[in-house]
Amino acid sequence: MKFKYEDLLDEYNLLKLQEVQEELKLIVDQYMNQEKYNESKEALNNMITILGRFAKNNFKVMTDIPTDYFNNYLETYSYYLINNVITLFKLGEYKSAMDMVNYAGKINVKGNSDFYATLDNMAFNLSIKSGEMPKVLFKELYKDGLSYEIAVENLKTIINEGMLPS
């Protein structure tokens, strides 16, 4: 059953939200599995918009709903945010992906350390891809299994000796 996504944005209709979530989840999963990232991006943007506006418009109601429901809602929201980061990363939209990682990091998903570990890993990879971390340091960090401290010392030597690549 197809819904107009906009119908959800200004009203509190839990059943309709759950049905649309299920519909979009199937679409997103299908695109992600087929690596159709442009299509996935659009479906994910719809889902994130719906979930975000739903929570914003119904914050008082959301806080009154039993905690299990609210935690499940946040986990669902975080699932789509992570998939959106993956999609943006695959499309080479590193700045947008980093913005999404930073936004997702503000969500408090209680007891879900995997969520934060995933975000940390994504942030690290994005910082490299977007050029925020010097590529020389990245190479040094993974050269012969060096520790971080030794890699930094090696990098200082490279810089002092003027051996940085152009």
List, run by run, the mean pLDDT of 10-residue segments along the chain (166 residues): 47 59 76 81 81 69 62 73 82 80 66 63 63 54 65 66 52
- Distances in Å between the Cα of 97 and the Cα atoms of 3, 26, 68 are 28, 22, 29
Domain extents in the chain: 5-118
pLDDT at 165: 46
Q: What is the DSSP letter of 67?
A: H
Pick left, alpha or beta for residue 8 (phi over 0 → left; psi -120 to 50 → alpha; otherwise beta): alpha
